[in-house]
Amino acid sequence: MPIRVDDDAEDPRVSVLTIDRPDARNALDPEHQQALGDAVAAFEADDEKLVAVLTGAGDTTFSAGADLKRLIPTYRDRVRAGEDPPWNFGGFTATRRAKPLIAAVNGHALAGGLEMALACDIRVCSHNATFGLAETKWAIIPGAGGTVRLPHAVPLGLAMEMILSGEPIDAAEAHRVGLVNRVVPLPDLLPTALGLARSIADRGPLAVREARERVLDGLGLEHEEAMAREHEAFLRVMRTDDALEGPAAFAEKRPPRYRGR
């Protein structure tokens, strides 16, 4: 399978998507690119699934990005022939998703690999991880959101250095600058990502969805507009049945039972 899709054994509301091409360091060729897009679309469409974890097969590489021997030349030649082919690397970097995606970075996340991790909402990594936008090494540029997202994830000067030099940073530096939330030993990586996913899956699903949208929208809005949109969302979630259940569960000292309506 180009992309392994597994249910979390402890919580069926959580999916694990694994890019399964370790012999090519989980680089995305056209088949893996299509399969990953299909897997993410299926996760988004499945009302029973609330959170997903994206990781790479093997213990050295999350993803080496777009396949430099197949996907890039194919795409490049179509562009040079005058086309503007469909463009959505990994099937999710160019479009707005509705659900949280956590990157469990199990090694090198380079070029499109880092761009996929940046398109995830949260990143955790293992000690052996590296993070780089290597595209300029090959006389191309980040084309899956790297120039847009990296300056929001690390200080501007470091983003510029990484993008222009193509040189990676290691896990410790990524954690120091806030590109990743946690750095753990490799055996603990998936359990850490799953623990985070399960805690999010336990929260009010409509509140999680609305809050995530507000964070992403707010990045590009003026303060007043962002505050107004947050207030509209605050009112929307107040009108849900789950907003009745939450405080009631607290008062009755029991776990809430949310139904997503």
Ligand X SMILES: CCCCCCCCCCCCC/C=C/C(=O)SCCNC(=O)CCNC(=O)[C@H](O)C(C)(C)COP(=O)(O)OP(=O)(O)OC[C@H]1O[C@@H](n2cnc3c(N)ncnc32)[C@H](O)[C@@H]1OP(=O)(O)O
Instruction: Catalogue the active-site residues.
Output: 115, 135
**138: number of Cβ within 10 Å:** 13
What's the start-to-end Cα distance of the chain, in Å? Answer: 35
Residue number with the smallest Cβ distance to ligand X: 65
**139: number of Cβ within 10 Å:** 6
Q: Give whichever of 8 and 135 is closer to ligand X, judged by the CB atom.
A: 135
Q: Give whichever of 6 and 59 is closer to ligand X, judged by the CB atom.
A: 59
Of positions 43, 62, 75, 92, contacts ligand X by CB under 6 A: 75
Nearest one of 179, 100, 79 to 133, comparing CA atoms: 179
| CB-count burial class (<10 Å; 0-12, 13-18, 19+) for 119 | buried
| CB-count burial class (<10 Å; 0-12, 13-18, 19+) for 71 | buried
By CB under 6 A, the residues from 121 to 140 that bind ligand X are: 134-135, 137-138
Residues 204-223: x where in contact with ligand X by CB under 6 A, - otherwise, as a string: --------------------
Report d(CA 147, CA 160) in Å as an integer: 9
Q: Does 149 bind ligand X (CB under 6 A)?
A: no
Of positions 14, 144, 153, 206, contacts ligand X by CB under 6 A: 144
Q: Does 89 bind ligand X (CB under 6 A)?
A: yes
Report the C-alpha dihedral over residues 70, 179, 91, 134, rounded to 10 degrees: -20
Q: Give whichever of 127 and 137 is closer to ligand X, judged by the CB atom.
A: 137
Q: Does 147 bind ligand X (CB under 6 A)?
A: no
Q: Does 142 bind ligand X (CB under 6 A)?
A: yes
Query: Which of these segments, 71-79, 156-164, 183-191, 225-233, binds ligand X (CB under 6 A)?
Result: 71-79
Residue with tokens 């609305």: 210
Report the C-alpha dihedral over residues 157, 159, 164, 169, rounded to 10 degrees: 110
Partners of residue 189 on adjacent β-strands:
none
Query: Which of these segments, 11-19, 103-111, 230-238, 239-247, binds ligand X (CB under 6 A)?
Result: 103-111
Residues 23-42: x where in contact with ligand X by CB under 6 A, - otherwise, as a string: -xx-x--x--x---------
Partners of residue 108 on adjacent β-strands:
61, 130
By CB under 6 A, the residues from 104 to 123 that bind ligand X are: 108, 110-112
Of positions 41, 44, 60, 237, contacts ligand X by CB under 6 A: 60
Give the interface with ligand X as residue ranges (CB under 6 A): 24-25, 27, 30, 33, 60-61, 64-69, 71-72, 74-75, 85-87, 89, 108, 110-112, 134-135, 137-138, 142-144
